[in-house]
Amino acid sequence: QRGWPTWIKQLDLPSDCLPRIGIPGRPYGKLTPQLCRRWNIDPSSNPVQICHGTTDSIASSLAAGIENYGDAVTTLGTTLVLKVVADSPIYSPEHGVYSHRLGDRWLISGASNAGGGVLLEHFTLEEINQLGLKIDPTHPSGLDYYPLSSIGERFPIADPDYLPRLSPRPDKPHHFLQGILEGLTQIELEGYRLMTRLGAPTPKRILSAGGGTKNQAWMALREQHSPWPTFKAQTPEAAFGAALLGQSRV
């Protein structure tokens, strides 16, 4: 409805204390001559248009290249964040699924507590890079890990008491690393399957962003196990996505 939720009225706030709701990328106002001078912008040139913005996560998704219904993006960061483009929203708090509006479309989203952060609790970056070279993604480790840093999960299992599963630990460090990466891969797959069961479109392609894309072993495992085409985003920077939004190219 492009407005503040009705429960806001129960807070008895002044009517003018909240900003007006706008569509991301649409004009909001123009930069004043005073601000132009402060930032060394020629105020005599065409007025600088200010547009409604969005979150850094969505801007990164736009930069990654999501365009059409069914496009998906996975951010392989400290945590795993999944988004898929849909025509209508889905809200399922019991599953940790939420939606962001973007123009006439929606980004169905979910964020796990698992992610690359757990790797750094057991390995240095140098160790991850070196051990990753020893991993053969065509030979499963046989480990059934759910690699959380602490108790509690948000998505695809919404359970504040959910326990990490990182045992048994094999003798060889690269087998342990492989087990963690396989666990993260399965969490991502289950996340998209859950979204689909809740009514989201089946991913047509998955674009990958975040620091985890530098991990060749992780990327290889994802490509091997994913039933959907998986690609590395060429330009994942949020600033680029914000620029696209300002140009209304999304």
Element (H, E) at 111: strand 105-111
Q: Which CATH architecture has domain 67-233?
A: 2-Layer Sandwich (3.30)
Q: What pLDDT shows up at residue 249?
A: 52
Contact present, 72 and 61 (Cβ < 8 Å)? no
Contact present, 90 and 198 (Cβ < 8 Å)? yes
Q: What pLDDT shows up at residue 247?
A: 81
Q: What pLDDT shows up at residue 245?
A: 87
- State what percent of residues in the chain have pLDDT above 70: 98
pTM: 0.85
What angle, 0 to 180 degrees and rounded to 10, lies between the N-to-C axes of helices 216-225 and 173-197?
40
Average pLDDT of the chain to the nearest whole number? 91
In the chain, list all ranges with CATH 3.30.420.40: 67-233
What strands, in cross-sheet order, belong to the sheet with 71-76? 97-102, 105-111, 80-86, 71-76, 205-209, 230-232
Give pLDDT tens digits for 22-59.
Answer: 888 888 888 888 888 898 888 776 778 888 888 878 88
- In terms of phi and psi (left: phi > 0; alpha: psi -120 to 50; beta: otherwise), the region of 89 is beta
Q: 180 pLDDT exceeds 90? A: yes
Contact present, 232 and 215 (Cβ < 8 Å)? no
Q: What pLDDT shows up at residue 2?
A: 73
Across 87-96, average pLDDT: 95
Across 160-165, average pLDDT: 97
Give pLDDT tens digits for 186-243.
Answer: 999 999 999 999 999 999 999 998 888 989 999 999 999 999 999 998 787 888 888 8
